[in-house]
Structure 1
Amino acid sequence: MKKLILVFAAVLAISCGDNKKEEKNDLKIGAPVEETTPAETTDDSVTEVTITGNDQMKFNKSEIRVKAGQKVRLTLKHVGTMQKTVMGHNWALLTQDADMATVGQAAAVAEDNDYIPADMTDKFIAHTKMLGGGESDTIEFDAPAPGTYIFMCTFPGHYALMQGKFIVE
């Protein structure tokens, strides 16, 4: 029994060490985790936002703030290495009346439409295309009315971890 506990402890220690190494590697490639970030404004008419997604199913931002009515130019960068079919990511901004779980469940079976449910397009304000490791996509849209909106990744199951608040002031 003592040997089994020692083996378990060794496996746990090794796996924890690997996770720390991966986190350090993420930091080295320029993808620090940021909890909240104001959008960067390039001029009075366009707000630039860059967000990354990685192979650990994480966005680097959990909150984005913009001004109502302002044009938003959002770039999603998939900083991981896995293929789109295995670890695809997109960035989707939902309307205030959209239920994230309902959208996420419908998206899981919408592979033919890049995981955007065709019968729920009215629940999306904007979205990027689905990306694989090393890819990026830039979209432009007008910020909606003031309020708090949800953004998420619609790849099957990702919305549980890859989500955040889009706050319009």
Structure 2
Amino acid sequence: MELTFREAQAEDLEHLVGMLADDILGSQREDASSPLNPVYLSAFQAIQSDANNSLVLAENEGQVMGMLQLTYIPSLTLKGSWRCLVEGVRIHSAYRGLGCGEKLFEYAIDSAKRKGCAMIQLTSDKLRPDAIRFYEKLGFTASHQGMKMKL
């Protein structure tokens, strides 16, 4: 399957929010109602206006198959290197298991290298064991204990 990659546009938002809501965890925390909740457009505009953020879509023949957000973070650690944070990873449920995720991550890793990042990192909810196995297969390691606090 041949994938192309592009930056998300505002007209993609309803479809993207639908993908984010299309699992057990996402259905509890996202609002896929139509018309689209305006908070998503506000967030999209903030992402789009920040040079250190990229909302990447994977497509095949014009059909959005997957998405992720890349955030580039300057740091004093690792000798003042940059790192790339991966968030909001989704493959459309109809296209899971077809290799789209691997190709999307190849693109993400190449993008981080082109930006000069020394590290690419992500978190995954412990309730997503399939996703964790997928990331481990790609070479990610659970080297740190992640913590979050909802505000």
TM (normalized to structure 1)? 0.29
Structure richer in helix, relative to its length:
2
TM (normalized to structure 2)? 0.31
Higher relative contact order (CA 8 A, sep 6+): 1
Larger Rg: 1
